[in-house]
Amino acid sequence: MADVEEKKPLVKDEPVDEIPIPAAATPPRRRAPPVPRWARLLLKFSMLAWAFVALRRSVRGNVDALLEIHGAQWIADAFSDAPEMAWGHPHRPHKVLFGKKAEQKFLTVPNAESAIAASRQYATKPHMAGTPGDFETAKDFLKLLQTELGISAPSDLPIYSAGTPQSRNATLGITKQKAPSAWIDTYYPVMNTPLDHSLQILDDDGNAVWTAALEEVADDTDPEAGKYYNAVTTWHGLSKGGSAKGRLVYANYGRKEDYDELVAKGVDLNGTIVLTRYGGIFRGLKARTLYMVKGAQEHGAVACLIYSDPRDDGTVTTENGYAPYPYGPARNPNSVQRGSTQFLSIYPGDPTTPGYPSYENSTRTNGTNIPSIPSLPLSWANAQVLLEEIKEGGTNRTISLVNNVDDRVIPIWNTMGVIPGHIKDEVVVVGNHRDAWVMGAADPSSGTASLHEVIRGLGELLRDGWTPLRTIVIASWDAEEYGLIGSTEWGEDFADWIDKHVVAYLNLDGSVSGSRYRPLATPSLAHFVRGTAEEIEHPTKPGKTLWDATEDRGVLTGEHIDAEALAVYNASEVDDARTNIGSACSGSGERLHGVASNNIGFQSTLQDPVYHYHSVFDSERWMEMYGDPGFGRHVAVAKHLGLQIVRFADSIVLPINTTHHAYRLEKYLDKVESIASSTNLDVDFSGLRSAIHDLQKASTKLDHEKTKAEKKLRRLLRRLAVRRLFRRNIRRALCRLKKLFGRECAHPGPGGAQLASAPADRAHVHAEKTFECSSMANGKSGLLPFKPRVGRAPAWAKEQHEPAVRKERFPMKRFKKAAKRVRAVNQKLKAFERGFIHEDGIKDREWYRNLDVAPGKWLGYGATTFPALTEAFTIEKNATMAEYEAKRLQKLIEKLAHEIKV
């Protein structure tokens, strides 16, 4: 066609046989061979493995931190009987103390400056039980609890009359409380106060040739002693009112052996007035007055006089060159030791309401634990006159004594505080008595000052978000000096509640009166007490521990020391060589119900400045100058007690060592057999010893079980924490991706669960609780251009957007089973001490029902092991009774072995 354009050649006309030579020879381009599929998979697997290891390391590094935050709550939820467990707590702070961190934080709080201020608050004015001063200290302690525990003070003071619905509900409702609380319970025991008294030597015509100046003498060298020297007269609480006349007989310490020696010498005590000296029945412990009076009464005496002898002050005497207080560390010769004459070995508490609480309208009985003869305490200055009167060649004239008292119902005030725990039905009780015979800088205000620091420490933990695993009850007992009245009445008032809920009682009397640390405990707590003491620094010796202070003694030496006083002091040393802890037996209401208990504090030695026990010279000046300069010992006791409280409250398995206690029982039996061998009584102990061996075996198996149970629960706790952290970290990674594509992401809470506390927040969570898969598929959501269909991703994503409180997808059955296993172990540990309770009690003093340990009939606060069996030999001297007591104890131990069997 003409109109068709002719195609032009692509190249110029050239000869076809000529090929142009290229400028450079270039090899042909080859495509790289493809990466094998197995290599790509290996690379992906390696990257995933690396990511997994990095994530696992991150998780492991934070497990302990997460357990500190949620561990106690998780354990508590596991122990709960609720069918489902609610995990995640919207109002929980992000950093909560628990376990070691809580203990370490607590130990930073007690300090000397605060302890001194507390001591001055309580020990610079008289506050004898039942007085206005005592009531003021009860309110002071209430305010302390309210302030430190974060309790809102009501418009009306929470002061309840014992027995009323308010008082009953306050204690019975402890296991249901969700927030700290504090109140004052008022009990109404029968006590007495002094009216007038006198002591004279009469001539043959009945005329007074000498009249004792019975009151203490002090001046302004000690400002409080000078001000209050006659605020509380020198007398004996619960002493018999009346008058008496008679010849004087000296009975040394007034011990049973002292009276037996007088009888053996043919001394007729009928109609006499007995003169004894303090000491001899446990230096540093109480219960001396009552047995001197009891012994005199039982031997026919008409009255008893008790004085403080410098021979019992060890090396710190004027004979060794020490000046008397307030000018030096030796005894002030005008000091007088007050005390109670209640017969604690019969029963403690209100004499007129044995076995039941002293309400305002309670039925009263005639007390059988108070003396029937009058008594008076004397100074060394007065005693010297009487000793001169009866020495060989003395005139030994008639002594006239008057002790008029007013017996009546007197209100007393127990101040109580509660810190609710996660496990509300397991309760640790901490107690210290508050009342003093005068000011009581050592007894009990040193203990009150230390407890003040403990409460400050617990308050600091609460403010940092700490909640104890178990509930803590803090008690400031009243009228202890009269005869353990405040604690006993509370114990009788709430006997069933105590039996059901209390797992331990930690006691603090006076915390400092000398240089030697002397903890006492039931054997089941001995290792716990020692172990915690070994973690506290020594108050005065760098590089040593508080436990090392159990070997401390004063530095005031001298050439002269009374041999008998030294022998008595050495005889009071502890007999448990393995733990170096003596047996605790306070006789308080808690011991009635078989609760593991202890008592701690620094006590006076024979080389310490003389502790003017129950005198006006037990003053703040004496404490700051001689008792504890710098208050390092007060602080050490506070740290030890507080560490015990936190550890006991937060431990998964109760720190009760039943095996050590079971092996101590065999030592107790060895002691009884030794006593029996010195008599002509033939008693077979083989059955009892066999029962003890069975208990030891059962307890050893319980040890293995509690170790396994706790290990299992802790392992599951860590698994739960690891699971939470994996989920939290993965969710954070997805959140970063969401933010990268401009989509908001809710923040996970401290446990990994999404938290929504406010209603608006919860609505927001609900609106976004699922992924928009269709939007993600077409890329319109701003998240990912594909559906996350790998494995559990969709279900996991949904979980992350559920409300804060939700069911945890974790092997709950296993967790619950492990918790119930621990719970069962703890119930057996709690039951151990209760296993020694016999409903029939001890002969002639049935109020005491613990056949393992009880106040000795002649020891008061001092403990007698296997008391009913021991006294069948030492007091009754009756083979039939000894056989009966051995069988009774055997059955009790056999039953206990069966009860703790696993």
More confident residue, 777 or 563: 563
Report yes or no on 228 lying in a domain.
yes
CA-based nearest residue to 416, from 505, 481, 477 = 477
Identify the pLDDT of residue 99.
80
424 and 569 co-located in one domain: yes
**Are residues 89 and 116 located together in one domain of the fold?**
no
Residues marked as catalytic: 480
**In a shared domain, residues 367 and 423:** no
The alpha-carbon radius of gyration of the chain (Å, integer) is: 37
Q: What is the mean pLDDT of residues 431-453?
A: 97
* Residues 716 and 825 reside in one and the same domain: yes
Reported as a pLDDT band with limits 50, 70 and 90, residue 46 is confident
| CATH code where residue 821 lies | 1.20.930.40
What average pLDDT does range 759-787 have in this prediction?
35
Q: What pLDDT is attached to residue 788?
A: 38
Min mean pLDDT across 165-179, 270-284, 625-639, 785-799 is at 785-799
pLDDT at 730 (0 to 100): 72
Q: Which of 617, 637, 655 is the last residue of a domain?
A: 655
End-to-end CA distance of the chain: 115
The residue with greater pLDDT, 334 or 101, is 334
Q: Is residue 355 part of a domain?
A: yes
Confidence grade of residue 385 (pLDDT, cut at 50, 70, 90): very high
**What integer pLDDT is reported at residue 546 of this predicted model?**
98
Lowest-confidence segment of 102-111, 583-592, 622-631 by average pLDDT: 583-592
**Are 232 and 298 part of one and the same domain?**
yes
Share of residues in the chain with pLDDT > 70 (%): 78
Q: What is the number of structural domains in the chain?
A: 3
Query: How far is residue 641's CA from residue 889's CA, in Å, rounded to a whole number?
Result: 33
Provide the pLDDT for residue 188: 98
Quote the pLDDT of residue 35: 67
Is residue 830 pLDDT above 80, yes or no?
yes
Is 136 domain-assigned? yes
pLDDT at 721 over 80: no
Residue 747 phi/psi, 5-degree rounding, is: -85, 135
Is 771 within a domain? no
Residue 295 to residue 315: CA distance in whole angstroms = 29
Distance CA 717, CA 63 (A): 10
328 and 405 inside one domain: yes
Of 399, 475, 443, 455, which is closest to residue 183 (Cα–Cα)?
Answer: 475
Q: Is residue 782 part of a domain?
A: no
pLDDT band at 859 (very low <50, low <70, confident <90, very high): low
Which pLDDT does position 863 carry in this prediction? Answer: 76
Contacts (Cβ under 8 Å, ≥6 apart) of 893: 665, 688, 691, 692, 694, 695, 835
The predicted model gives 223-252 an average pLDDT of: 96
Has residue 42 been placed in a domain?
no
Q: Do 224 and 370 have their domain in common?
A: yes
Average pLDDT on 207-230 reads 96
Residue 794 pLDDT more than 70?
no
**Average pLDDT of the chain, as a whole number:** 85
Residue 723 has which token pair? 């699971």
Residue 764 confidence (pLDDT) above 50? no
What band does 891 get if pLDDT is binned at 50, 70 and 90? very high
Q: What is the pLDDT of residue 857?
A: 77
Residue 4 in tokens:
């068709």
What is the Cα–Cα distance from 748 to 760, expressed in whole angstroms? 17
3-state secondary structure of 407: strand
- What is the Cβ-side half-sphere exposure of residue 315, based on CA atoms within 13 angstroms? 11
* Residue 319: CATH number of its domain: 3.50.30.30
Give the pLDDT confidence score for residue 601 in this predicted structure.
96
Boundary of a domain, candidates 622, 655, 688: 655
Asked whether residue 348 carries a pLDDT value surpassing 90, the answer given is yes
Reported as a pLDDT band with limits 50, 70 and 90, residue 715 is confident
pLDDT at residue 95, as a whole number:
52
pLDDT digits (tens, 9 = 90+) for 529-585: 999 999 999 999 999 999 999 999 999 999 999 998 898 888 766 566 667 788 775
Which residue range forms the structural domain that includes residue 341?
191-409
DSSP for residue 425 = E
More confident of the two residues 71 and 555? 555
Give 689-714 pLDDT, tens digit per residue: 999 999 999 999 999 999 999 999 88
pLDDT band per the 50, 70, 90 thresholds, residue 74: low
- Say whether pLDDT at 901 is over 50: yes
Q: What length does the chain have?
A: 902
In this prediction, residue 812 carries a pLDDT of: 72
Give the CATH number for residue 563.
3.40.630.10
Do 419 and 542 have their domain in common? yes
Residue 822 has pLDDT above 60, yes or no: yes
Q: Are residues 632 and 713 in the same domain?
A: no
Q: What was the pLDDT predicted at 255?
A: 87
What pLDDT shows up at residue 388? 96
Domain termination residue (choose one: 409, 429, 455): 409
774 versus 490: the higher-pLDDT residue is 490
- 21-35, 359-373, 711-725 — most confident range: 359-373
Same domain, 823 and 839: yes
Residue 180 and residue 106 share a domain: yes
d(CA 64, CA 311): 58
Would residue 740 count as lying in a domain?
no
Task: Supply the pLDDT for residue 362.
Answer: 97
pLDDT of residue 47: 64
Question: Residue 68: inside a domain, yes or no?
Answer: yes
Q: Choose the weakest-confidence range: 35-44, 388-397, 627-636.
A: 35-44
| Residues 458 and 508 placed together within one structural domain of the fold | yes
